[in-house]
């Protein structure tokens, strides 16, 4: 068994022009060895951290760590990060302190609606315009052209707190259909926060 798990920051990040297939989330410390802990980022619908009140903060910190690695390893014009932090805007403190053109902040319901519409429109554009020439996904398209479309990474803190049923539906659709279009959704989720009388459950978002 592994003794402990700790978050570490790697050095010498390699510049990439697409999302890495795996992301480092820390290290397992086993005896005297540090073993990288990796999660898949390509070929999946996203990353979902199943949390409760005692683990939400750690999950938000983990998402920050992943995004910081992506920001340091990809050109800014090829990656757009949306931070969804409805309410106090305190769940991504490091990223919130950065003044970067490819980070978008969503801190209220009105901005959330606009951002979801923007992401849906970009996904439709990629699907109909970019992937209509026998490309399987955005990675293949970007590898074959000089006119690259950005990847979209969405980080959602404390889902589904402060989310309406229609917003949950919109995010569910993006999770289902966005992977080919270069969309990755990361969230921490507490199923006890879902609206009453709903049909959502942990398995729907964990797949």
pLDDT in tens, 81-113: 999 998 877 899 999 999 999 999 999 988 999
pLDDT number for residue 1? 33
pLDDT number for residue 92? 94
pLDDT number for residue 3? 38
What is each CA distance from 123 to 20, 21, 94, 101, 131, in whole angstroms?
A: 20, 20, 28, 20, 10
pLDDT number for residue 94? 92
pLDDT number for residue 5? 37
pLDDT in tens, 19-29: 777 777 776 77
Strands 103-106 and 22-30: unpaired
Q: Which residues of the chain have pLDDT under 50?
A: 1-14, 202-207
Residue reference for tokens 């399987």? 136
Contact 85, 30 (CB under 8 A): no
pLDDT number for residue 16? 61
Distance in angstroms (rounded) separating the CA atoms of residues 79 and 144: 17
User: Structure tokens of 47?
Assistant: 């990353």
User: Which residues lie closer than 8 Å to 123 by C-beta, 6 or more apart?
Assistant: 152, 174, 177, 178, 181, 183
What pTM was computed for the model?
Answer: 0.80
Residues constituting the chain: 207
pLDDT number for residue 200? 53
Distance in angstroms (rounded) separating the CA atoms of residues 162 and 97: 23
pLDDT number for residue 31? 73
């Amino acid at each position: 068994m592994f003794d402990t798990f700790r978050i570490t920051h790697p050095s010498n990040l390699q510049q990439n022009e697409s999302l890495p297939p795996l992301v480092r989330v820390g290290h397992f410390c086993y005896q005297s060895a540090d073993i990288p802990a990796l999660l898949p980022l390509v070929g999946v619908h996203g990353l979902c951290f199943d949390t409760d009140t005692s683990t939400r903060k750690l999950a938000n910190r983990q998402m920050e760590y992943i995004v910081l690695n992506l920001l340091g390893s990809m050109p800014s014009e090829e990656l757009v990060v949306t931070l969804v932090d409805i309410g106090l805007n305190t769940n991504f403190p490091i990223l919130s302190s950065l003044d970067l053109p490819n980070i978008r902040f969503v801190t209220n319901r009105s901005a959330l609606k606009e951002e979801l519409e923007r992401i849906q429109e970009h996904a439709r554009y990629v699907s109909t315009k970019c992937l209509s020439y026998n490309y399987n996904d955005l990675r293949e398209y970007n590898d074959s052209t000089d006119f690259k479309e950005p990847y979209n990474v969405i980080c959602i803190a404390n889902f589904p707190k402060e989310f309406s049923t229609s917003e949950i539906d919109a995010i569910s659709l993006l999770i289902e259909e966005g992977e080919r279009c270069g969309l990755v959704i990361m969230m921490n989720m507490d199923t006890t926060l879902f609206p009453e009388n709903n049909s959502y459950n942990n398995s729907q978002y964990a797949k």
